[in-house]
Chain A
Amino acid sequence: MTRMGRSTLAGILALAVAAAAGCSRTGGTGGQAGPGAGAGSIRQIGSTTMLALAEKWRGGFNASHPDVSIAVSGGGSGTGIKALISGTAEIADSSRDVKAEEMKQAEAAGMKLVSHLVARDGMAVIVNPANPLREIPLAVLSDVYVGKTRDWGQAGAPGLGAIQIASRDSASGTYEMFRETVVTLGGRDKSRDYAPEALKQTSNEAVLALVGQTKNAIGYVGLGYVNDTVKVVAIIPERGGAAVAPSAETVSSGGYPLARSLYCVTNGEPTGAVKTYLDWIKGAEGQAIVRELGFVPVGAP
């Protein structure tokens, strides 16, 4: 090797060692949020349902607060909470309640998880536009999803054949909430679980695409994702009565049975940039974005 080549090799090796040393994790475990929070840098991770919302919130917030840098990503509610606990996020977006085990893990890491209600959402049950079904009782929907009811004839749409169930995957908060409210009949029968034949899709859009393409499919998506490639089915609540279709009004009033809350979770009460951001989200501008995207605002609009 020439003298020049040897020095180059040495330089590259030195750089590699330095880079490896520099890649140590800066986010601490336990204690306060990562070093970015006060200094105007926020990492917001979690629910894919809330992803579009989070992106618009960031855009809106940065218009009036350009000094705060916000990094938004998805991965599912569970991923977000995990990131919060391990110190790699300041805000976890969650489309479900924080689980007891997650609270315990947070305590073990010296954290206290605080959930801030930022929007309400309905889970819309959708079918293919060719499906004549208009409404379905909650109990029948539950039986469809656990695999007890397999034919459309028993579910209110004779002639369509076998039912193809579309679901989200288990990293999704939507999956969890649907399981909680529908599959386990409001948590009363926890031994019930999704049928193995359920096609697990990785996002709301994927569920939409599948149901839109497949004549005998049924699925669930966040209300804000519904478009005219699919048909929404009204739900007859367990207590009986008229079928309720999902909308901003029925979700706010509590009439729609498949409603859920969307949260931004933080470690302890927020301070600094995180507090400003969350207050903004809960304020008029943030909630206007909530309404714009098809979710349901909380408190005074």
Chain B
Amino acid sequence: MDQGRRRSWEWVVERLIKAAGVFAIVFVVLIFAFLLWDALPIFRERPLRELLAGGRWSPTAEPPQFGMLPLLLGSLYVTAGALLLAVPLGLATAVFIADVAPPRLQEVLKPTVDLLAAIPSVVFGFLGLLLVGPWLARWLNLPVAQFAALGSLMLALMAIPTIVSVSEDAIRAVPRSLRDNSLALGATHWQTISRVVVPAARSGIVAAVLLGLGRAIGETMTVLMVTGNAAVIPRGLQGFLRPVETMTATIAAEMGETAYRTSHYHALFAIGLILFVVTFLTNTLADLALGRAGRAAR
């Protein structure tokens, strides 16, 4: 190929790649606009307080009730529970893989943890519904085998690979010199890990937790199958052991039946909008944290 042809070809390819990148941004903006457009009517129809703090979600009743509080709290309980389980486990696993395990064990552990991420969410739902749920309900003597903590448990299994992966990268990125200096000063291996390495990797670990949070809050299929889908306001710690309904499950369960452009339809879009905003914020914060981690390493 002569020089002229090569240059114009490069020009075409560069433009195409740039278009692809721009397209991704446009796509996200369009999704947001689409959600906003179809959610606005319900915000105009009902006062914000009734929507966000109302305690009864009965869209098929007459008159319909669109109180989202049970759903917001349902998602909160399930996600918080999932992080409570996933963060300590994930962080510990990441530390083990990055700093403690012998190289051969590392080579086995990393792909195994990644395998957890490859399992489809419906499989987790299935396992939770038919195996883990009934077993836990028997053990803890619960009235019904579908409850918030079961959702938390299955979600934790899904969030752990994300947390492990990102945390492990952050821990590995801590300069060797920091570790060596600590050991040289007489600190034990564990003291080095807990007081030097992990604090140094803190931005990356925060990012890992936020990404795990984003994964957990957006999960639909699993929570639809195992949390019971009862739109009641969970109370106290007992609330973890009782059925709840998450925002994602509500949309999944009800969108199929809702007539186009009715109040119910708009209310479901409002839930979708809230989910989008929360996920967007957590991902942006995670990006900022990763940015800081990158700068800290340099």
B-binding residues in A (CB < 8 A):
3, 6, 9-10, 13, 75-79, 82, 99, 101-102, 105, 162, 164, 169-172, 176, 179, 190-194, 196-202, 206, 209-210, 213-214, 216-217
Residue of B134, B146, B225 most packed against chain A (CB within 10 A): B146
Whether B256 and A76, one on each chain, are in contact in the complex, defined by CB atoms closer than 8 angstroms, is yes
Residue in A closest to B1 when the chains form the complex, CB atoms: A3
Alpha-carbon distance between A13 and B16 when the two chains are bound, in angstroms: 8
Which of B53-61, B103-111, B171-179, B186-194 lies at the binding interface? B53-61
Which of B29-37, B257-265, B274-282 lies at the binding interface? B257-265
Which of B41-49, B195-203, B228-236 lies at the binding interface? B228-236
- For the complex of A and B, 3 pairs with smallest distance between CB atoms: A78-B257, A193-B61, A171-B256
Question: Given A101-B262, A196-B70, A200-B230, does the pair A191, B143 have CB atoms closer than 8 Å?
Answer: no
- Specify which chain A residues have a CB less than 8 angstroms from the CB of B13 in the assembled complex: 6, 9-10
Alpha-carbon distance between A78 and B137 when the two chains are bound, in angstroms: 34
Alpha-carbon distance between A214 and B225 when the two chains are bound, in angstroms: 16
A-binding residues in B (CB < 8 A):
1, 9, 13, 16, 56-63, 70, 129-130, 134, 137, 143-146, 224-225, 228-232, 243, 245, 253-260, 262
Residue in A closest to B142 when the chains form the complex, CB atoms: A214
Question: Given A213-B134, A214-B143, A217-B144, does the pair A171, B260 have CB atoms closer than 8 Å?
Answer: no
Whether B62 and A199, one on each chain, are in contact in the complex, defined by CB atoms closer than 8 angstroms, is no
Partner of A169, one of B143, B253, B260: B253
- Specify which chain A residues have a CB less than 8 angstroms from the CB of B224 in the assembled complex: 202
Whether B229 and A191, one on each chain, are in contact in the complex, defined by CB atoms closer than 8 angstroms, is no
- Specify which chain A residues have a CB less than 8 angstroms from the CB of B225 in the assembled complex: 202, 206
Residue in B closest to A214 when the chains form the complex, CB atoms: B144
Whether A190 and B62, one on each chain, are in contact in the complex, defined by CB atoms closer than 8 angstroms, is yes
- Specify which chain B residues have a CB less than 8 angstroms from the CB of A3 in the assembled complex: 1
Whether A171 and B146, one on each chain, are in contact in the complex, defined by CB atoms closer than 8 angstroms, is no
Alpha-carbon distance between A6 and B16 when the two chains are bound, in angstroms: 13
Whether B9 and A6, one on each chain, are in contact in the complex, defined by CB atoms closer than 8 angstroms, is yes
Residue in B closest to A146 when the chains form the complex, CB atoms: B61
A-B CB contact pairs (8 Å), 30 listed: A6-B13, A9-B13, A75-B256, A76-B257, A78-B256, A78-B257, A82-B256, A99-B259, A101-B259, A101-B262, A164-B143, A169-B254, A170-B254, A171-B254, A172-B257, A176-B257, A191-B62, A192-B61, A194-B58, A199-B146, A199-B230, A200-B228, A202-B225, A209-B129, A210-B144, A210-B145, A213-B134, A213-B145, A214-B144, A216-B143
Partner of A200, one of B129, B130, B144, B245: B245
Residue in A closest to B224 when the chains form the complex, CB atoms: A202
Known: A170-B59, A179-B60, A196-B58. 18 other contacts (CB 8 A): A6-B9, A6-B13, A78-B258, A79-B256, A164-B143, A170-B257, A171-B255, A171-B257, A193-B60, A194-B60, A196-B57, A199-B144, A199-B146, A199-B243, A200-B245, A201-B229, A206-B129, A217-B144
Partner of B260, one of A105, A191, A192: A105
Residue in A closest to B59 when the chains form the complex, CB atoms: A170
Whether B58 and A193, one on each chain, are in contact in the complex, defined by CB atoms closer than 8 angstroms, is yes
A114 shortest CB reach to chain B, Å: 19
Alpha-carbon distance between A206 and B144 when the two chains are bound, in angstroms: 13
Residue in B closest to A198 when the chains form the complex, CB atoms: B230
Alpha-carbon distance between A216 and B260 when the two chains are bound, in angstroms: 38
Alpha-carbon distance between A190 and B60 when the two chains are bound, in angstroms: 10
Residue in B closest to A77 when the chains form the complex, CB atoms: B257
A101 shortest CB reach to chain B, Å: 5
B134 shortest CB reach to chain A, Å: 6
Alpha-carbon distance between A193 and B59 when the two chains are bound, in angstroms: 9
- Specify which chain B residues have a CB less than 8 angstroms from the CB of A6 in the assembled complex: 9, 13
Whether A199 and B253, one on each chain, are in contact in the complex, defined by CB atoms closer than 8 angstroms, is no
Alpha-carbon distance between A162 and B143 when the two chains are bound, in angstroms: 9
B142 shortest CB reach to chain A, Å: 10
Residue in B closest to A173 when the chains form the complex, CB atoms: B257
